């Protein structure tokens, strides 16, 4: 691990990288460095790794080649030497709704392990983490906390929103049809596509409307082309952009980084400045665990609630904290939500019209923290300035996007933790996306053991008002990989059932989730959790306000079901997913991989 820099007699400093480049015995090592094109004159500079997840598969990562150039310029200007290495980057959108999604969450651990391996094997002095999408950002931050050498994150930025102007009249007509059919929320979504922002998640609505015969193939194609008009992470408060914002709130990226658009010159300036700054951080021995403290994680959770961000943060923040030796119980999300107003209404919220570009224009993450400044706790940042100082200096530039404390969208934040006999260790709901009439719901269970079966039933009209769709065996072990359930939730919305149907799963949801969708049910079905005991027709109570989730089955009946329960055979028995399923812990602990494959005990980091 990182050794503190100490002065030599001649006034020079010992660098971590000296172990591979200094002394007679390192002649073979230097030969290899020279073989890669390194000049002898730069051996005395800090060796800075740039961990990049560039690929040409994911829109959020396609533009990273340009950002790499700016980071490298900054490192050189700051007096360092840049070394690039690549990492996998899975697109959750492309992996959605098929077996590929099994790999998304597990890839977080692969990324963390890969970064750790490269940083430790080559003894770099510092690292720039060039990241953007869902599991890549938390995976890189986990590695930064684990290895604990100076690190700074550069999130590559959100995509611009699109416009469906070519079929605007058709969408307005569709909105009118929805209004006449008594589906006002769906009408608002169609009207927004006609006159306002179009985002990635609208492709799911378009698919549902086409399936119902409400759009033609050409009209669906127009929605597809408008939904993702260029590079960047998808335009709403999905997991990628939520994590980018929380990376900034944690203090691990420069102010403005979380919301600066992928296409903007500002993003390139941030990349350059981050490159220069990491050299200063190495010189000042500023390390991740000094930044990612308990207070920093509470600040990030508060910002998450104020934004109404993705519920996946309930997995990622505890996992990052685990690597930093900090315990972040999921109860913190609920406790902090109760004292944090919901200040922004960013798409894909059911009534939202703003996209990430609007949040950036309104002042970004630190403008939100400015509104919350009296609740922001003291913590350090990669800038060297305290987070409270930056928050006080920030300004809200548009109060229609970032509301003041006395005019919030909701009095409480966006995340709620539910408990009861169905989820004794907790379950997660994006409360800000739940309609008022659905905050207390009693329904009958429709039970499925695979996401695909549930989605097919919804699209075929087999799910009716008053149903609770229960998807079992999709947790970290049972999935394996805790798949994201955007397909079934979006089809519930597209079918106009989001105010009459609920969904419960031991899997997880995207930031795009709308409606009463309860995920992360713990314990999961694969380890004997109560969700695996639910049968067709059982009555289930979900009460968001009281934070309750209850299976209304007599205690004796549940006891008999538990005696008869046998786990399903593993869905995967070879390869990485089999190893992951054997070692992953509960979603309530961040679904981190552990040696004993079950518990994530508090870790004391050196």
Q: What residues act catalytically?
A: 510
Q: Which three-class secondary structure state does DSSP give residue 276?
A: helix
Q: Is-contact 304 313, C-beta < 8 A?
A: yes
Report the alpha-carbon distance of residue 604 to residue 117 in Å, rounded: 20
Distances (CA, A) of 75 to 18, 121, 126, 432: 18, 21, 11, 41
Quickly count helices (H) and strands (E) in the chain: 24, 12
Question: First-to-last CA distance in the chain?
Answer: 8
Are the beta carbons of 216 and 267 closer than 8 angstroms? no
d(CA 389, CA 375): 13
- Nearest Cα residue to 157 out of 225, 276, 59: 59
Torsional sign, CA 506, 515, 538, 535: negative
Q: How many CB atoms lie within 10 A of CB 37?
A: 6
Q: What is the DSSP string of 410-458?
A: BSS-SEEEEEETTEEEEEEEEGGGS-GGGSEEEEEEEEESSHHHHHHHH
Sign (positive or negative) of CA dihedral 591, 595, 598, 599: negative
Helix (H) or strand (E) holding 207: helix 202-211
Burial class, 206, CB count within 10 angstroms (exposed 0-12 / middle 13-18 / buried 19+): buried
In degrees, rounded to 5, the angle at the alpha carbon of residue 345 between the alpha carbons of residues 341 and 351 is 125
- Distance, in Å, from the CA atom of 392 to the CA atom of 559, rounded to the nearest integer, reads 55
Q: In what order do the strands lie in the sheet with 151-155?
A: 81-86, 47-52, 126-131, 151-155
Other CB atoms within 10 Å distance of the CB of residue 44: 15
Secondary structure of 6-21 in the HEC alphabet? CECCCCCECCCCHHHH
CA–chain centroid gap for 309, Å, is 9
CB 506, CB 475: distance < 8 Å: yes
Strands (E), 272-315: none
Q: Measured between alpha carbons, how far is 439 from 334 in angstroms, rounded to an integer?
A: 15
């Amino acid at each position: 691990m990182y050794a503190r820099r100490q002065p030599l007699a001649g006034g020079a400093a010992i660098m971590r990288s000296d172990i591979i480049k200094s002394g007679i015995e390192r002649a073979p090592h230097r030969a290899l460095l020279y073989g890669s094109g390194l000049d002898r004159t730069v051996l005395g500079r800090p060796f800075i790794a740039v961990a990049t997840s560039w690929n040409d598969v994911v829109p959020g990562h396609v533009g990273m080649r340009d950002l790499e150039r700016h980071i490298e310029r900054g490192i050189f200007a700051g007096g360092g030497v840049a070394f690039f290495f690549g990492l996998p980057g899975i697109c959750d959108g492309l992996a959605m709704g098929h077996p590929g999604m099994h790999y998304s969450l597990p890839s977080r651990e692969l990324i963390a392990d890969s970064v750790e391996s490269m940083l430790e094997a080559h003894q770099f002095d510092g690292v720039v983490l060039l990241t953007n999408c869902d599991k890549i950002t938390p995976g890189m931050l986990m590695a930064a906390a684990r290895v604990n050498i100076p690190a700074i994150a550069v999130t590559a930025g959100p995509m611009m929103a699109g416009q469906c102007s070519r079929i605007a009249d058709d969408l307005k007509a569709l909105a009118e049809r929805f209004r006449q059919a008594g589906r006002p929320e769906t009408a608002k979504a169609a009207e927004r596509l006609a006159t306002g922002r179009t985002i990635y998640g609208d492709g799911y609505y378009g698919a549902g409307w086409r399936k119902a015969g409400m759009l033609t193939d050409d009209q669906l194609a127009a929605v597809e082309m408008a939904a993702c008009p260029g590079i960047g992470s998808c335009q709403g408060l999905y997991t990628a952009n939520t994590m980018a914002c929380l990376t900034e709130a944690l203090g691990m990226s420069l102010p403005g980084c979380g919301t600066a658009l992928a296409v903007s010159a500002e993003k390139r300036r941030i990349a350059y400045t981050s490159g220069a700054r990491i050299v200063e951080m190495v010189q000042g021995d500023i390390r991740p665990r000094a930044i990612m403290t308990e207070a920093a994680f509470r600040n990030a959770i508060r910002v998450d609630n104020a934004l109404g961000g993705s519920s996946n943060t309930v997995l990622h923040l505890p996992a990052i904290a685990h690597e930093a030796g900090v315990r972040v119980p999921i109860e913190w999300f609920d406790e902090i939500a109760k004292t944090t107003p919901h200040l922004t209404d960013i798409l894909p919220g059911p009534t939202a019209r703003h996209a990430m570009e609007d949040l950036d224009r309104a002042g970004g993450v630190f403008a939100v923290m400015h509104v919350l400044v009296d609740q922001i706790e003291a913590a350090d940042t990669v800038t060297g300035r305290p987070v409270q100082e930056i928050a006080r200096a920030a300004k809200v530039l548009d109060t229609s996007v970032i509301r003041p404390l006395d005019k919030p969208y909701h009095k409480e934040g966006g995340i709620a933790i539910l408990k009861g006999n169905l989820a004794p260790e907790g379950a997660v709901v994006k409360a800000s996306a739940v309609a008022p009439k659905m905050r207390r719901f009693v329904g009958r269970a429709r039970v499925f053991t695979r996401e695909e079966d549930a989605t097919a039933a919804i699209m075929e009209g087999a799910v009716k008002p008053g149903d609770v769709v229960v998807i079992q065996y999709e947790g970290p072990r049972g999935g394996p990989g805790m798949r994201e359930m955007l397909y079934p939730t979006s089809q519930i919305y597209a079918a106009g059932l989001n105010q009459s149907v609920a969904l419960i799963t031991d899997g997880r949801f995207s930031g795009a989730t709308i409606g009463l969708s309860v995920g992360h049910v713990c314990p999961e079905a694969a380890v004997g959790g109560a969700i695996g005991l639910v049968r067709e027709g059982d009555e289930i109570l979900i009460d968001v306000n009281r934070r309750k989730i209850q299976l209304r089955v007599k205690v004796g009946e549940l006891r008999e079901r538990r005696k008869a329960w046998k786990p399903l055979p593993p869905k995967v028995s070879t390869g990485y997913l089999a190893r992951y399923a054997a070692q992953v812990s509960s979603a309530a602990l961040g679904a981190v991989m552990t040696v004993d494959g079950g518990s994530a005990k508090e870790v004391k980091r050196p």
